[in-house]
């Protein structure tokens, strides 16, 4: 199973696809309504956007939607106010943090693994995008272009290090268009075109290899297990509530 972070207006245009994904047992999650970066929105605009996204997905799927990922991983240090609004709107998980250096997103000082944060409005689980620690740096390995760019042997090495040496879950992230080498290409610079198309013809093969080599679950399923098996740590009240909220 997987978690499908879904843009609201796309869900409205393709409701049957959303139902098919949800009925197959996958987790539906929010990816904003209009796919605008958090930094482009005021707090009130952000609230309206995620509320609309959540309502659309819940109405179509018939299931509770409690996880969010910002477009372009755009919850960074300057936009952490978004977490307060997510909590107020009923979200339990945010997967918008990428602990790397990047000119458009990222916070290399962020924690690398799932953790709870306490805000004035309540508690939220933050599930960062996965990185592997090499020579004191966080190296992204399994999200979008990074998944396509690096050879599969390096991806497998990174996930094994996270799973086995660090005893942590890893997040694999990609866009549907990355499975289609022949999708229309927007008019962009040569560099952006390279980033967009590099190794795209190998995405499906890599995903099949990942599915063969590792065990996967939805983000909600992984977190339910994660917070109940931490050695020597009693399950928190929040993690217990989160587990109870799981819907089949």
Mean pLDDT of the chain: 89
Instruction: Tell me what the mean pLDDT of segment 41-60 comes to.
Output: 99
Q: How confident is the model at residue 239 (pLDDT cuts 50, 70, 90)?
A: very low
* Domain spanning 1-129, CATH architecture: Alpha-Beta Barrel (3.20)
Mean pLDDT confidence for 216-230: 86
CB-based contacts of 244, cutoff 8 Å, min separation 6? none
DSSP state of 38: G
**pLDDT given at position 243:** 33
Q: What DSSP state is assigned to residue 40? A: G
Q: Give this prediction's pTM.
A: 0.88
Angle between helices 43-61 and 81-88 (to 10 degrees): 40
Place of tokens 């229309």: 184
**pLDDT beyond 60 at 242:** no
Structure tokens at 222: 């992984």
Distance CA 222, CA 245 (A): 14
Per-domain residue ranges of the chain: 1-129
């Amino acid at each position: 199973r997987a978690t499908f972070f879904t843009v609201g207006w796309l869900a409205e245009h393709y409701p049957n696809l959303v139902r098919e994904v949800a009925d197959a047992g996958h987790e539906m999650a929010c990816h904003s309504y209009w796919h605008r970066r958090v930094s482009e929105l005021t707090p009130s605009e952000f609230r309206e956007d995620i509320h609309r996204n959540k309502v659309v997905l819940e109405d179509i799927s018939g299931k509770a939607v409690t996880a969010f990922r910002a477009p372009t991983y755009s919850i960074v240090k300057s936009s952490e106010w978004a977490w307060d609004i997510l909590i107020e709107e009923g979200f339990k998980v945010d997967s918008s943090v990428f602990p790397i250096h990047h000119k458009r997103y990222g916070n290399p000082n962020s924690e690398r693994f799932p953790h709870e944060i306490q805000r004035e409005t309540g508690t939220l689980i933050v599930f960062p995008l996965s990185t592997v620690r090499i020579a004191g740096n966080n190296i992204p390995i399994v999200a979008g272009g990074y998944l396509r760019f690096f050879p599969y042997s390096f991806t497998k090495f990174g996930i094994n290090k996270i799973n086995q040496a660090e005893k942590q879950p890893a997040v694999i992230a990609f866009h549907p268009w990355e499975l289609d080498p022949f999708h229309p290409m927007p008019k962009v610079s040569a560099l952006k075109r390279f980033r967009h198309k590099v190794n795209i013809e190998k995405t499906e093969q890599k995903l099949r290899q990942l599915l063969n080599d590792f065990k996967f679950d939805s983000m909600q399923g992984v977190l339910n297990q994660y917070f109940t098996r931490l050695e020597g740590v009693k399950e928190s009240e929040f993690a217990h509530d989160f587990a109870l909220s799981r819907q089949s």
